[in-house]
Amino acid sequence: MLEAPKSPTKKLEYVVKRAWEDVEQPHLQPYVAKLKYEDRQCTLEMCLTAQEADIYQNARAEYDKALRTSSDQRMIQHLKSQRFICLHDHFTEQIRKFDSIRRDDPCALDRTIEYCQVQIQYAPVARRAFENDPFHPHMPEHPGYHCLIQILEEEEKVGEALYLAKLAWEEGWKGDWAGWMDHLANRARRTTSP
């Protein structure tokens, strides 16, 4: 018996909404460009700050230059992936910067959470870029998930933290997600049991 062809899976669409994006006064809006990513399985749109647009544009220029001047296909593929990995790395830097001062500066906590959320929403693109980069044999850690889970646990939002740990594990990011899920599940049981 012939099997019926599988219907194609629906393309995943992500639109990253960021703080200040819908401000009606353009001079107050910090975003200067929009990143549009599309492949066969996913599309993503995200506003970029001037710094993020610069980072992306520099990585794109390196890739374009390599296309014209290099015959090393691995390096070209690496630079192609770097166009998107560079933003993941930038979000990592911002998370670490604001997380390091969040206990002393109340505004830093909000910025930490914002960058964690942006990096998590950007994860589908970053994951594809890492998987296609010949110089990254394994998925790296994901500071956005890690840091936001810690913050949620500190705020006693164990269910949300557990959900994010499971999501990070399912996406394949490096880390002891199974151990963290066990810890959070045990903590959730302790807080809900009489």
Domain boundaries, the chain: 10-137, 140-194
Does position 97 have pLDDT exceeding 50, yes or no? yes
Does position 56 have pLDDT exceeding 90, yes or no? yes
Exposed / middle / buried, residue 48 (Cβ in 10 Å: 0-12, 13-18, 19+): buried
**Under a CB-based contact definition with an 8 Å cutoff, are residues 97 and 115 in contact?**
no
pLDDT score at 177: 94
pTM score of the predicted model? 0.86
SS3 call for 3: coil
- The average confidence (pLDDT) of the chain is 87
Q: Please report, for the chain, how many H helices and E strands are present, in that order.
A: 6, 3
Does position 169 have pLDDT exceeding 90, yes or no? yes
Strand-strand pairing, 31-38 and 12-16: unpaired
- Name residue 44's beta-bridge partners: 14, 37
Between 2-11, 88-97, 117-126, the lowest mean confidence (pLDDT) is in 2-11
